[in-house]
Chain A
Amino acid sequence: MALTMWASSTANALRISCASKPHLSLAFSFSRCFSTVLDGLKYATSHEWVKHEGSVATIGITDHAQDHLGEVVFVELPEPGVSVSQGKGFGAVESVKATSDVNSPISGEVVEVNSKLTEAPGLINSSPYEEGWMIKVKPSSPPELESLMGSKEYTKFCEEEDASH
């Protein structure tokens, strides 16, 4: 895991996107903000992503978010069975000196949480779209996904956000 993180950090430093693992089979694109944005996911303005597959949606924070937060040292997640609401916080990440809320892009019921993050919170940094997933949710209102951004829109959102500061 340490080697993966080193590789990821080096890749980020050299502005090279982290390659997707073969089983994920998702295209990825470069963004001019140099964070990875994956096609096929939906994105919230608060920098969470959601992957809807059948009756379950997987949620995490984006590469842009983890890069700006810094090294994640602790993750607080809800218990399975808890309800989450679109735009509301469901947990938090701690990165050295700061706790940052993580907001759910959609409403629903938590059906699974990523227990690996307890022992390895750095997975959020090294693999924000894969091993660093945070919760899986049974969506209660699938149309909410339509209100989220696609990859191109989110890429532009990140660029504009970074450019304005």
Chain B
Amino acid sequence: MPACIHELFVEFIVSVYHRHHHTYMHAFGIGLTGLVVALGYLMKQKNHHISLPLQLLLPRRFGITDSSFYVCGPALKDIKGKSPSLKFERRKKNTRPGILVRQLHIEEQLLRTSSENWCIINDGTNDPTIVMGFSGKPAELLEIESVLHDQVPVIRRFTGGGTVIVDHQTIFVTFICNKETVPDLQPYPRPIMSWSSSLYSKVFGGIGDFHLRENDYVFGNHKFGGNAQSITKNKWIHHTSFLWDFDVRNMAYLKLPKLAPAYRSARGHLDFICRLKDYMPRSTFIDKTVEAAGTQFSLRSLELEAVVTCSETEFRPSTRFLTNEELAAAAAAVSEQQLGLP
């Protein structure tokens, strides 16, 4: 992609902003992403580090203090040859549930097509969204009538694991690694889970009796982080949704799962989970996570969109929304079953 195209993007963004800055904030976000794509592609080609200038430049230049997207990645140590490299991206709040699907699509594509290692930290999505695991059955996991009535989006993701309801109070952290990246780590669920637990032990450092309990991150016996993985021939992904805070009302959309960890002891949602915010400030958690990752990897920031744009285009992600029709059909099938109908 020639350098002049990114200049065209910049001019486009400026003109859009001056004319329609209130009405077209989302269009600006799209244009901004395009700029990010172009710059990132250039940086990738030249093998440059991208650090603060990208984050600071755009808000100051265009007077935007609260952009829909921003990418930042402190250029931490780069000790080539001493630590495996990890590309790092932090993404600010997304504004639509479709963006969460996009996030999952990107993660799935990176897992399937990128040869790099990645850490992605996402500060959540605005609208409450239900995210089910690979084999999740809506009728078993959701209060479908309420979900349909309130039009809560439901996503089926490509990783295993259970069901979560996420919103702007959820923090997502994802690691995508080649299977040889972490020394002495077998690419199977339990070793990866243990590895992640040791990393987060550095984050919490004894706070709140943090530990991995079965497959959940807990303080004591209260869950605040849910994990899910997908393992391919050569790579694995481990992503976590952290309950920074949650709206009690949202828990009403979820049924008690049949497949629950033993330590849950049949507790209801509110007796089972806890809020991360009661233990650590949000920014501290994110900074410490980056710091912990930096103890094992050399971190480089790179625009995620650039990698996705330039990578394999034939990839078809499996993560998707469930339609209202699918949810209604699932509910109907259960009703018929309960009534003894064929």
**B-binding residues in A (CB < 8 A):** 46, 68-70, 73-74, 76, 87, 89, 92, 94-101, 103, 161-162, 164-165
> Known contacts A68-B186, A161-B186, A165-B185; is A97 also within 8 Å of B135 by CB?
no
Q: Are A94 and B134 in contact (CB under 8 A)?
A: yes
With the chains together, A84 CA to B80 CA distance in Å?
Answer: 40
Cβ of B87 to closest chain A Cβ, rounded Å: 23
Residues of A within 8 A of B231 (CB): 98-101
Residues of A within 8 A of B189 (CB): 68-70, 95-98, 100
Cβ of B78 to closest chain A Cβ, rounded Å: 27
Residue of B159, B188, B191 with most chain A CB atoms under a 10 A cut-off: B188
Residue of A73, A89, A96 with most chain B CB atoms under a 10 A cut-off: A96
**A-binding residues in B (CB < 8 A):** 133-135, 158-162, 184-186, 188-193, 215, 227-233, 259
Contact of B160 among A89, A98, A161 (CB under 8 A): A98
Q: Is the interface of B mostly helix, strand, loop or mixed?
A: loop
With the chains together, A101 CA to B318 CA distance in Å?
Answer: 13
Q: Are B186 and A98 in contact (CB under 8 A)?
A: no
Closest to B185 in A: A165
Closest to B191 in A: A165
Cβ of A118 to closest chain B Cβ, rounded Å: 11
Closest to A44 in B: B233
> Known contacts A94-B135, A97-B161, A98-B160; is A46 also within 8 Å of B184 by CB?
no
Q: Are B233 and A98 in contact (CB under 8 A)?
A: no
The 8 closest A-B pairs by CB, nearest first: A74-B135, A98-B229, A98-B189, A68-B188, A97-B161, A100-B231, A165-B186, A94-B160
Closest to B235 in A: A101
Q: Are B232 and A101 in contact (CB under 8 A)?
A: yes
Contact of A70 among B135, B190, B259 (CB under 8 A): B190
Cβ of A139 to closest chain B Cβ, rounded Å: 20
